[in-house]
Structure 1
Amino acid sequence: GPWEFAKSDNRALLDQEAIAVDRLDLPKLGNPKLGQIVEIGGRRVRIGAVTNGARGFQGTLVFANLELTREIAKVPAGRYSAILVRFRPGVDKTNVIEKMRKILRNCSVYSSEELSSLTQRYYLSNTGIGGSFGFSTVIAVLIGVVIITLTMYSSVLNRQRDFAVIRALGARKGDIVLIVLTQAFLISLMGILLGFLLLSFLFRATLNSAIPSYYPTFIPPIHALLTILFSLFGSFFALRKALKAEPASVFH
């Protein structure tokens, strides 16, 4: 059944005429209130509960008891499109799944992790989502590296005499490297802060949208690390220019 409720709970589905629908799908039914009668698939049903986050890529997810679901979907008794199996604590899931596959040879048996992975691969490979997302990511990375390269190169070019003065005062090439990389690191930090700030505004704006955003907690550190690495990579040409600064040019 539903895994999270915005209003009411699982007990509402004990009502033989009740359904649970996601809060973001209520406008499709005319924004009904709890207990209000609506029609789905030619069947009059009662809004017994409102779920939160129960959405898919296509259609509307509606939860109901088995008999009511058959009536709405017009599925005859004994026919099922999918069966959810829950294991008791301590059960070896892998072993049970393998046994089920041997018994139900004409059926597909997946664990929740396998089904999730298959679904993700399907939408990434069989729809335009994977290609468009990958292309956009590559373009964004290239643009970011180019902008950082131009910014750093312009900064070093304008301060090449300063680097020559530093070299004339006894600074080593390693000191010049440290200065340039520190500047690149600071630029990346400002970019990370600005990026996450804009991202937070995006999440806030899409919180109650038809397609809520999802950003796993392990992604931000990876995102930040890649930003720093690309910033350091983008400073390579600027670093070469800075290292070419000759101390003797100060006296010309």
Structure 2
Amino acid sequence: MIVTAFKFIKFDRPKSIGILVGIVISIFLIGQQLATLRFLTSLMTALIENSNGEPGDIWVIDNVTKNVNVLSRIDSRIAQEIKSIDGVASSQSILVTNASLTLPNGKTGAVNLVGSDGPVFVAGPHPSRVVAGKLSDLVQSSSVSLEYFNAKSFGIPAEKGQTFELNKKLAVARVITRNAQRFGGDNMYTSLDNVRYFADLPPDKVNAIVVKVKPGADPQMVIDRINATFYGVKAWNAEKLKKSTYSKILISSNMGVSFGSLIVFATISGFFIIGLTLYSSALDRLVDYGTLKAIGATNGYVSRLILTQAFLFALIGFSIAFALLLAFKAAVSNSSLTLEFDWPLSLLLFGFTLFMSVGGSLFAVIKISRLEPASIF
């Protein structure tokens, strides 16, 4: 069956090439958009993604905010009081504020200072994103992290010891991070004391508290107890807070509509282009299919033959498109755009390919199944 299907593909090379081009273009666009959207969503929740917390941690923020990028100040004493809640193992405070950056080359900009206490540094950066220095270096006076890609855009070396000003106060880069940026801004990580020093903030306010639950305790029960005990704050499961942030940003920015519409139109156009090309190819070979049916081939056999061709097109087209996606990933690897094509995304893309190729072949299957062998003679 496969050999016969491959011979049919080779018989009409122009249409076969057209089908493959349609698959490659559609899957490349869909894969590029999905990977870019996933990268952007990771930036939307960078405060959680880059933290040294765990998925089961509880985040306590103000009771109005549903977006982790827009945090109001809460009373810092709550971090100590939360420890008295049954099921709480520990609590760590996070402080986030804006700062004005002035570089030695005269350039200026704005950054977000993200502070938490060592040695845990629950706010981050995560060790996997540290390329130079140690987290413990951030406890030093005036020490901050410097993002590799931000340093490139600022036009300064991405190296330890780099100096600049934050709110007109001298700062020293003791840690270099890579891919620790945030959506719509640049993060610099440091200790709580350093954030308060650079931003002249009082010690009685923080932006978030990360609560770790004791082994065996029910996180949801701990969340309910915190919400029932403290006024003006709300406890969230980390994953639920991430999902809430996604929805807030995607809806308010229409980003979801933009990416989603492109993916939908790429899928629909690919489906009909491939389907109509396969249908046209089947019409050109009516005599061949009619002959097969005349010598005893059943409709089931002929349908499987067409579907096998479609599957081969899908396999070849997906392989080419995926190779191009990997090449594109490598081409942008030195920019701030970091794309990942893991197994779940790869399987999803292959599913799109099968839908367009095998689904589109149903036009030809319906046509050939209705063909009477006598009509071709």
Name the TM-score, length of structure 2 as normaliser. Answer: 0.63
Decide which moves more: 24-33 or 38-47: 24-33
Q: What is the rounded CA distance, in whole Å, between the counterparts of 2:146 and 2:235 in structure 1?
A: 27
Within the candidate set 137, 143, 146, 2:272 is matched to 146
Decide which moves more: 141-150 or 22-31: 22-31
Q: What is the rounded CA distance, in whole Å, between the counterparts of 2:211 and 2:342 in structure 1?
A: 27
- For each residue in 1:57-99, what CA deviation from the matched residue of structure 2 results, as whole angstroms up to 9, or x when unmatched? 1211111111111122332221112223344555433222222
The residue aligned with 2:351 is 225
Deviation at 1:244, TM superposition (A): 3.0
Task: Specify whether residues 133 and 108 from structure 1 end up closer, same or farther in structure 2 by C-alpha distance, changes over 3 A only.
Answer: same
1:2 to 2:128 alignment: no
Q: What is the rounded CA distance, in whole Å, between the counterparts of 2:251 and 2:340 in structure 1?
A: 20
Aligned length: 251
Within the candidate set 361, 372, 377, 1:235 is matched to 361
Within the candidate set 64, 69, 81, 2:195 is matched to 69
SS at match of 1:35: coil
Name the TM-score, length of structure 1 as normaliser. Answer: 0.91
- For each residue in 1:110-150, what CA deviation from the matched residue of structure 2 results, as whole angstroms up to 9, or x when unmatched? 22111211111112111121110111011011111011112
Unaligned runs of at least 5 residues, structure 1: none
Amino acid paired to 1:7: A
1:43 to 2:169 alignment: yes
Within the candidate set 257, 268, 273, 1:131 is matched to 257
Decide which moves more: 94-103 or 62-71: 94-103
Task: Specify whether residues 147 and 249 from structure 1 end up closer, same or farther in structure 2 by C-alpha distance, changes over 3 A only.
Answer: same
User: What's the C-alpha RMSD, in Å, of the aligned pairs?
Assistant: 1.9
The residue aligned with 1:100 is 226
Tell me the percent identity.
29
Relative to its length, the structure with more strand (as a share) is 2
Within the candidate set 305, 319, 323, 1:197 is matched to 323
Q: What is the rounded CA distance, in whole Å, between the counterparts of 1:192 and 1:92 in structure 2?
A: 45
Q: What is the rounded CA distance, in whole Å, between the counterparts of 1:94 and 1:111 in structure 2?
A: 8
Within the candidate set 120, 128, 131, 2:246 is matched to 120
The 5-angstrom pairing of residues 82-101 of structure 1 reads 82-87=208-213, 89-101=215-227
Task: Specify whether residues 83 and 29 from structure 1 end up closer, same or farther in structure 2 by C-alpha distance, changes over 3 A only.
Answer: farther
Q: What is the rounded CA distance, in whole Å, between the counterparts of 2:283 and 2:176 in structure 1?
A: 61
Q: What is the rounded CA distance, in whole Å, between the counterparts of 1:117 and 1:178 in structure 2?
A: 43
Amino acid paired to 1:25: N
Amino acid paired to 1:53: N
The residue aligned with 1:172 is 298
Decide which moves more: 78-87 or 109-118: 78-87
The residue aligned with 2:310 is 184
Unaligned runs of at least 5 residues, structure 2: 1-123
Relative to its length, the structure with more helix (as a share) is 1
Contact 1:29–1:38 under 8 Å retained in 2: no
Q: What is the rounded CA distance, in whole Å, between the counterparts of 1:32 and 1:51 in structure 2?
A: 9
Task: Specify whether residues 191 and 177 from structure 1 end up closer, same or farther in structure 2 by C-alpha distance, changes over 3 A only.
Answer: same
